[in-house]
């Protein structure tokens, strides 16, 4: 078995007979496993150490939420997120989880997947005329734990059978083996967050290399999935123009643009508390050297003229490849959309276009 393995696993006693717990035990035969009444772990000495612990437990709350990127003042793609896991084994220097799950002592996987699926099914039934986009990659990597959980084997058949939803599995891993034997029926998009090789090497510790991600994308596309790409965060590092252009060229030498569901762009952004969390880590992230300035939404980004320049460049290169590929930018105000795309669609129009492109 390849892929991430934890240093230890804690399984809540009530879930010890669950299918997920059984799979984890089987696949981690030499990892210490603790069965506990309640997995209240002490805070680890470092944030990184928490990423080596796995907790198997029941989710007592809701699985389904609106994407937190949809804050007031930005054009939003009306995305929904489902949280079957929390925290991520990769340790990207810019990741908001460093702040969001700052005190989270472990990676958590939830056993009651069926409850989550029932929750989304109720929403889909209640709004039959609307097609939703749902992703599992906001507080977790959609595929990084799949070799332990087989979560995709439950999600893909479920979503493939729904008439009005598209599931996005967003990842920085190359763990697509489970997906290859499943039939997505055009209801599942597998997408990769990409960056330049320099940024991947420097800022995305533990994640698959760019070449590995692209190889995985080719495999799933050949297996019948639509794929997506997220240039997010775009980082204004030395040589960014050549770097991102080369990545785009590399992708589309191998990927069929007719089976690309969407490509998104998003600028590096951080809240003051995330910045403080990043600065508190032992290894200094070079991306803190970029010229981030405060924006009206409380986040810091590189100044707007530079963001617009970056978006325009990437957009032009992507359109040179195939002008029909659906493109959007994430967490930017209408005025930036206007400069980049020459129009400002409503939130619902952005969402409608993205699902229409899949039809």
Partner 1 sequence: MTHAPELEQGVRQWAAERRYRHALVERWLRLDAADARALLGLAVELRLGENQLRDVWDCAEDVAARDRSSLAAVLTGPPLTRARRRAEGRSDRLKAIKAALRRLRYPQLVATEERLAELVQQLALPRSVRVTLPDCLEGDTLRVDIVVDSAAALAAAAAALHAAATRPECTAIFTLLEEAP
Q: Which residues bind partner 1 (CB under 8 A)?
A: 284, 288-289, 291, 293-296, 303-306, 308-309, 312, 335, 339
Pull the structure tokens for residue 201: 């090497």
Q: Cβ closer to partner 1: 308 or 321?
A: 308
Pull the structure tokens for residue 126: 């209640």
Neighbours of 118 (CB within 10 A): 11
Least spacing, CB of residue 289 vs partner 1, in Å: 4
Least spacing, CB of residue 265 vs partner 1, in Å: 15
CB 124 within 8 A of CB 166: no
Least spacing, CB of residue 203 vs partner 1, in Å: 15
Query: Residue 233: is the preceding peptide bond cis (ω within 30°)?
Result: yes
Least spacing, CB of residue 308 vs partner 1, in Å: 5
Q: Cβ closer to partner 1: 52 or 309?
A: 309
CA 305 to chain centre: 27
Q: Cβ closer to partner 1: 32 or 298?
A: 298
> Which among 67, 123, 129, 125 is positioned nearest to 347, based on CA atoms?
67
* C-alpha–C-alpha distance, residues 65 and 159, integer Å: 17
Least spacing, CB of residue 186 vs partner 1, in Å: 38
Q: Cβ closer to partner 1: 180 or 280?
A: 280
Q: How far apart are the first and last CA of the chain?
A: 36
* E strand intervals along the chain: 8-12, 33-36, 53-57, 64-66, 80-82, 85-86, 91-92, 107-110, 132-135, 165-171, 188-193, 204-205, 226-234, 260-267, 292-294, 300-302, 327-329
Least spacing, CB of residue 95 vs partner 1, in Å: 19
> Which among 194, 354, 348 is positioned nearest to 262, based on CA atoms?
354
Least spacing, CB of residue 59 vs partner 1, in Å: 35
* C-alpha–C-alpha distance, residues 281 and 304, integer Å: 28
Q: Cβ closer to partner 1: 99 or 150?
A: 99
Q: Cβ closer to partner 1: 123 or 198?
A: 198
Opening angle at CA 63, ends 220 and 223, nearest 5: 10
Number of residues that this document lists for the chain: 359
Q: Cβ closer to partner 1: 17 or 338?
A: 338
């Amino acid at each position: 078995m390849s892929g991430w393995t934890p240093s230890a696993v804690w399984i809540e006693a009530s879930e010890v007979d669950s299918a997920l717990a059984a799979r984890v035990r089987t696949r981690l035969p030499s990892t210490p496993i603790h069965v506990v009444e309640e997995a209240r772990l002490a805070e680890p000495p470092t944030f990184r150490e928490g990423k080596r612990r796995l907790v198997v437990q029941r989710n007592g709350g809701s699985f389904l939420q609106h994407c937190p990127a949809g804050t007031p003042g930005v054009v939003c793609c009306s995305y929904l997120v489902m949280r079957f896991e929390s925290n991520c084994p990769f340790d990207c220097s810019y990741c908001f989880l460093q702040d969001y799950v700052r005190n989270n002592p472990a990676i958590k996987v939830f056993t009651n997947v069926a409850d989550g699926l029932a929750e989304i099914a109720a929403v889909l039934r209640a709004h039959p005329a609307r097609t939703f986009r749902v992703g599992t990659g906001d507080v977790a990597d959609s595929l990084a734990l799949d070799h332990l959980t087989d979560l995709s084997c439950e999600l893909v058949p479920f979503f493939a059978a729904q008439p009005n939803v598209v599931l996005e599995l967003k990842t920085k891993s190359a763990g697509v083996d489970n997906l290859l034997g499943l039939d997505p029926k055009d209801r599942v998009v597998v997408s990769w967050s990409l960056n330049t090789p320099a940024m991947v090497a420097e800022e995305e510790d533990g994640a698959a290399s760019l070449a590995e991600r692209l190889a995985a994308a080719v495999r799933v596309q050949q297996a019948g999935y639509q794929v997506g790409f997220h240039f997010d965060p775009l980082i204004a590092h030395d040589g960014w123009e050549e770097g991102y252009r080369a990545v785009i060229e590399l992708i589309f030498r191998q990927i069929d643009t007719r089976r690309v569901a969407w490509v998104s762009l998003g600028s590096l952004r951080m809240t003051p508390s995330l910045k403080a969390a990043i600065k508190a880590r032992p290894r200094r992230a070079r991306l803190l050297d970029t010229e981030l300035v405060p924006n009206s939404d409380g986040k810091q980004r590189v100044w707007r003229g530079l963001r617009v320049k970056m978006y325009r460049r990437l957009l032009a290169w992507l359109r040179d490849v195939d002008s029909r590929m659906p493109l959007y930018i994430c967490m930017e105000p209408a005025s930036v959309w206007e400069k980049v795309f020459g129009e400002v669609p409503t939130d619902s129009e952005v969402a409608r276009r993205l699902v229409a492109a899949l039809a």
